[in-house]
Amino acid sequence: MSEYVQVPSPSGKSAAWSPAANWLIPVALLLLSAVPVVAGSLRLAEMVGGLPVLPDGDRVRSAPVALVAHIVSVTVFSVLGAFQFAPRLRRRRRGWHRIAGRLVVLCGLLTALTGLWLTLFLPRGAADGDALVAIRVVVSVAMAACVCLGFVSVRRRDFAAHRSWMIRGYAIGMGAGTQFFTQMAWIVAVGPVTTVGTTSTLTAGWLINIVVAEWIILRGAAGPGRQSCGGADGDGAAGVTGSAAGTPAATSAVQPAVARRC
């Protein structure tokens, strides 16, 4: 039998998401992923006979299977993943969160593995140096690890850890969106991107997202999904159970919440 426990926040008030968060969070994430997702669609269109709008077509099309798998998986991961962070959807449609979540995990893994494959086996772009290759390898492995740990955590009903790992995995994936802005900033401030420019702007995109993700995790700002641990289907975003209790993420998650013991 389930037992509900009211855990007061330090202020004594129960925190709740503003209703706007239910659409603001997915919309913001969709906007962030818009440029790489549109670029991917243009590349796919080009591959089936559309106009070549993007540069470097001959080079990237030399690994067509990995490229198509990468673009399809990043699109599903980015779009479906954005809705996993909508508080009300996550809490009220747990069946949906669970089914969509499995697809997001699968596509996240495929994104990371095809990203790794493209990094290692595609002929290098003119401005891709050794450092960028090494960083992409680290990022791919880290993204795959985060998504796997997010899945393993939720199977163990460790919802605080699930929330933290999924935020990390999604943030690494969304580096592709942030990189558009860091590259634009470089072009405006410095000029055409060189090898140093490419390496530093892509790395900056990932670093910015990782810092923001850690800030969100520490503040518990992905929030009152933490109010429930998901009950029988095990898909709430973050109750506080098991090994996560006592971690900073777990502590921030429990403060304002109505925590449910599973």
Q: Which of 112, 154, 213, 238 binds ligand HEM (CB under 6 A)?
A: 112
Give the tokens for residue 129: 């140096």
Burial class (CB in 10 A: 0-12, 13-18, 19+), 135: middle
Closest distance to ligand HEM from the beta carbon of 142 (Å): 8
Q: Closer to ligand HEM at the Cβ: 16 or 63? A: 63
* Residue closest to ligand HEM, measured at CB: 115
Residues facing residue 6 across a β-bridge = 258
- Region from 98-106, 118-126, 148-156, 161-169 binding ligand HEM, contact rule CB under 6 A: 118-126
Q: Tell whether residue 197 is a contact of ligand HEM (CB under 6 A).
A: no
Rg (CA), the chain: 20
Nearest to 33 by CA among 82, 97, 90: 82
Binding to ligand HEM, residues 139-158 (CB under 6 A): 139-140, 143
Closest distance to ligand HEM from the beta carbon of 171 (Å): 10
DSSP 232: G
- Region from 20-28, 112-120, 215-223, 230-238 binding ligand HEM, contact rule CB under 6 A: 112-120
Give the contacts of 112 (CB within 8 A, at least 6 positions apart): 140, 141, 143, 144, 147, 173
Q: Closer to ligand HEM at the Cβ: 36 or 239? A: 36
Q: Which of 28, 54, 185, 221 binds ligand HEM (CB under 6 A)?
A: 54
Q: Where are the alpha helices (DSSP H) in 61-129?
A: 64-84, 87-92, 94-121
Q: Tell whether residue 26 is a contact of ligand HEM (CB under 6 A).
A: no
- Return d(Cα 245, Cα 261) in angstroms, integer: 12
Q: Closer to ligand HEM at the Cβ: 205 or 223? A: 205
- Return d(Cα 181, Cα 196) in angstroms, integer: 16
- Return d(Cα 219, Cα 17) in angstroms, integer: 14
Q: Closer to ligand HEM at the Cβ: 16 or 35? A: 35
Per CB under 6 A, residues contacting ligand HEM are: 33, 36-37, 39-40, 43, 54, 56, 60, 70-71, 74, 78, 111-112, 115, 118-119, 122, 125, 136, 139-140, 143, 173, 176
